[in-house]
Chains A and B, each alone.
Chain A
Amino acid sequence: MALHFELVTPARLVRSDDVYMVVVPGTEGEEGVLEGHAPFMTTMRDGTLRIYKTDGAAPEEIQVQGGFAEVGDNGLTVLAEHVEG
């Protein structure tokens, strides 16, 4: 079982993957999202999105600006205006 994660910018769909956990830099604190997370929405600070492919693996880091995260039935969706890395 894995978390479905999508990273979308205005210009394209950057990532669409099944991962173990994503750490989202929310405006009110970092939030680790695992599979089965309750639905929620948060705006994001400009910061680093950390993606853990598997449990305990080294995280992949993506710089995100102007982000917004949404957790719903079909996983985590991050809408970001600018993405680096």
Chain B
Amino acid sequence: MASLKELKGRINSVKSTQKITKAKQMVAAAKLRKAQAAAEAARPYAGRLAAVMGSLASKVTVSESSPKLLAGTGKDQVHLLVVANSDKGLCGAFNSNIVKSALAKARELEGQGKTVLFYLVGRKGRAVIRRQYANAVIAMFDTTEVREPGYEEAERIAAELVALYDEGKFDVAHLFFSEFKSALAQVPTDVQIIPVPAPKAAEGGAAVDYEPEEEAILAALLPRYLRTRIFGALLENQASEQGASMTAMDNATRNAGELINKLTIQYNRSRQAAITTELIEIIAGAEAL
């Protein structure tokens, strides 16, 4: 049985931990609202661009001469897994879920005899992936210097990916991130980003003049579409991270509360027991006289 002093110490330490988790929970709630607003604000652009790509796709047929970003390299051997994580922890299983889905995909691809490479965004998740695929990590993108990854980061990531693609380092790229469903549910998702999956063709609208012609516009828009996809994923990831963090910290705060109650009961019992023993000793002493 722990002494009274030890118990008191533990109660105090759990209390201060609870204060930290509570603070982090409130911070996450505030940041979540911001992240959601940012995701909301990005929607018109992404929607418009997807619509334009759709109407272009219905006009252009994918052939050998199509841009490489759309038609692919003609091979399907080397797969690049782009894994987007956060830089900070304290967000429950958020990062490990993304990493887990990426590793599962990697094993599946390896089972099919493909080569797997990794491109890591964010600080978390590096250790786990490097432990298992030490030589497959070709690049890591550092986001620790910026507070929130924005469009500039998406541009840089896309540029690096396209450069690697043009060098022929990989044939197919998948992007792993966490899709934000609600503050309680974040779904690890993977999408193919290179070659750009042919956008759903919009049903033939009015006759539209293109300047320059369709193929040239498509070629100009593809990298932009890629950037937008990555940007969207980064935004989803941020909202997911904050949501996961909020839930995890809420749980932690509640657990700490339970623990404090349990310890307090234990503390009171031990105190009572000590008093009773003392009383018995005094009475026994008095009777002996």
Contacts from A to B (Cβ < 8 Å): 6, 8-13, 26-28, 31, 38-43, 66, 68, 70, 72-73, 77, 79, 81
A79 and B207 CA atoms in complex are apart in Å by: 20
A22 and B208 CA atoms in complex are apart in Å by: 19
Q: Report whether A41 and B150 are in contact in the complex, using a CB–CB cutoff of 8 Å.
A: no
Q: Which of A8, A10, A31 lies in contact with B151, CB distance below 8 A?
A: A10
Min CB gap A81→B, angstroms: 7
Of the listed stretches B1-9, B45-53, B174-182, B193-201, chain A binds B45-53
Q: Report whether B210 and A66 are in contact in the complex, using a CB–CB cutoff of 8 Å.
A: no
Known: A10-B228, A11-B150, A68-B52. A43 touches B220 (CB 8 A): yes
Of the listed stretches B11-19, B211-219, B241-249, chain A binds B211-219
Interface residues of B in 117-145 (CB under 8 A from A): none
A12 and B224 CA atoms in complex are apart in Å by: 16
Chain B: CB-nearest residue to A70: B52
A13, A41, A70: residue with the most chain B Cβ atoms closer than 10 Å: A41
B221 on the interface (CB 8 Å rule)? Answer: yes
Min CB gap A54→B, angstroms: 26
List the 9 closest pairs (A to B, CB-CB), nearest first: A40-B209, A42-B211, A12-B41, A39-B208, A8-B45, A43-B220, A10-B151, A10-B45, A39-B206
12 A-B pairs with C-beta separation under 8 A: A10-B45, A11-B150, A13-B44, A28-B212, A31-B211, A39-B207, A41-B211, A43-B212, A68-B52, A70-B48, A73-B206, A79-B45
- Please give 14 more A-B residue pairs, beta carbons under 8 A apart, in addition to A12-B41, A39-B208, A41-B211: A10-B42, A11-B150, A13-B44, A13-B45, A27-B212, A39-B207, A40-B208, A41-B56, A41-B208, A41-B217, A43-B217, A72-B206, A79-B45, A81-B224
Interface residues of B in 54-108 (CB under 8 A from A): 56
Q: Report whether B212 and A38 are in contact in the complex, using a CB–CB cutoff of 8 Å.
A: no
Mostly, the A contact residues are: strand
A26 and B209 CA atoms in complex are apart in Å by: 13
Chain B residues whose CB sits within 8 angstroms of the CB of A8 once the complex forms? 44-45, 48
Q: Report whether A27 and B44 are in contact in the complex, using a CB–CB cutoff of 8 Å.
A: no
B267 on the interface (CB 8 Å rule)? Answer: no
B183 on the interface (CB 8 Å rule)? Answer: no
Chain A: CB-nearest residue to B56: A41
A34 and B211 CA atoms in complex are apart in Å by: 17
Known: A10-B228, A66-B224, A79-B45. A38 touches B217 (CB 8 A): no
B109 on the interface (CB 8 Å rule)? Answer: no
Q: Which of A9, A40, A81 lies in contact with B211, CB distance below 8 A?
A: A40
Chain A residues whose CB sits within 8 angstroms of the CB of B209 once the complex forms? 38-41
Q: Report whether A11 and B41 are in contact in the complex, using a CB–CB cutoff of 8 Å.
A: yes
